[in-house]
Amino acid sequence: MRVLVIEDDQETATFLRRALKESGHVAEYAGDGQTGLELARANAYDVLIVDRMLPKRDGLAVIGTLRAEEIRTPALILSALGEVDDRVKGLRAGGDDYLTKPYAFSELLARIEALARRTSPEEGSTRFVVGDLVLDRLTHKVTRAGEAIMLQPREFRLLEYLMKHAGQVVTRTMLLENVWDYHFDPQTNVIDVHISRLRSKIDKNFGNPLLHTVRGAGYSIRDSAH
C-alpha cells in the first residue's frame, strides 16, 4: 500500500513512516499542506493521512481541493480536536475517516487498511465468504459448513463488518463507530462481550476458529487453516 503522510510535526512523521514501512507499506511524506496537495495530485496513493492543522494550507482545505478536482484517494484526518462537531466538519470536508490524537498506531493502521479496502471490488459484493463461513447480505442468512447460524440483527451487522474487512484488523472503536454508530468511549469493554457472544455462535462448535483476537489492537476474521 502506498501512503502519503501530510504532517508538520517531524517526529510524528518519522515515527509514522517507520511504523508504516515495518507494516509492509510504502510511506511518503509532506511537511506542509501545499507540498502535500502537490504530491497527492501527482502520484496515485492508496491512502492519505492528513493532519488537520498544517502550515501553508490546513488539512481540511487540502482534502477539499483534492475532492473538487475529482481526486478521490481515501483520506484519514488526524486531529487533536476530538469532539463530535469537529469530526462532522472533517467528514463533511471530504475526509473518509477521523482519528483523534493521541492514538494507538494499531488503530491508525487498522483504519487506513480499511480505507484502502473501500475502493476494492469486494465492497459491493452481496456474499462474504471466509473459510466455510458464508454471509449473504441479501437474504441475511449465515451458514458455517452448510449449517445455518441464527444471529440477532446486531450480531449480523457485527459479523458483516468483520467479514467485509476479512483478513484485516478491526479495532473496537471501529466496530463501535461502524456497527453501533457511537462516537464515544463506552468505558467498559462492551465490544469484547459482543464479540465473545458472536464467537460462541460461529466458532464454538467448529474445529477451526475464524474470529481471532489481535492483542493490543482488536479483532480479525480470517481462515488461518489456509
Partner 1 sequence: MTALTKLFRTTTFRLSLTYLALFSAAAILAIAYIYWNTTVLLSRQLNQTIDAELKGLAEQYRAGGLEQLVRIVAERSQTPGNSLYLVANSEGHRLAGNLSAVAPDLWNSLGPVEFYYRRPAAAGVERRLAFANVFRLPSGYRLIVGRDIEDRRELASMVRSAMLWGLGVMALFGIGGGYWVSRKLLARIDTLAATTRTIMAGDLAGRLPVTGSGDELDRLSDSLNLMLARIEQLMAGLREVSDNIAHDLKTPLNRLRNRVEAALREPYGEPVYREALERTIEEADGLIKTFNALLSIARIEAGAGGQNRELLDVSALLCDVAELYEPVAEERGLMLKAEANGPVFVRADRQLLGQAIANLIDNAIKYGTAEGADGTGAKPEVEVTATEKGGVAEIVVTDRGPGVPVSDRERVLDRFVRLEASRSEPGSGLGLSLVAAVARLHGGSLRLEDNAPGLRVVLALPSGSGATMNGVTAREQARAETRSA
Q: State the residues that interact with partner 1 by CB under 8 A.
A: 82-85, 88, 100, 102, 104, 154, 180, 182-190, 193-194, 196-197, 216
Report the distance separating Cα 126 and Cα 186, nearest Å.
31
Cβ proximity to partner 1, 113 vs 155, nearer residue: 155
Q: Given strand 75-79, what is the order of strands in its sheet?
A: 26-30, 2-6, 47-51, 75-79, 97-100
| Shortest Å distance, C-beta 140 to partner 1 | 18
| Shortest Å distance, C-beta 101 to partner 1 | 9
Cβ proximity to partner 1, 23 vs 34, nearer residue: 23
| Shortest Å distance, C-beta 170 to partner 1 | 17
Counting beta carbons within 10 angstroms of the beta carbon of residue 181, is it exposed (0 to 12), middle (13 to 18) or buried (19 or more)? Answer: exposed
| Shortest Å distance, C-beta 192 to partner 1 | 9
Cβ proximity to partner 1, 61 vs 81, nearer residue: 81
| Shortest Å distance, C-beta 188 to partner 1 | 6
Cβ proximity to partner 1, 46 vs 160, nearer residue: 160
Report the distance separating Cα 89 and Cα 55, nearest Å.
19
Cβ proximity to partner 1, 1 vs 214, nearer residue: 214
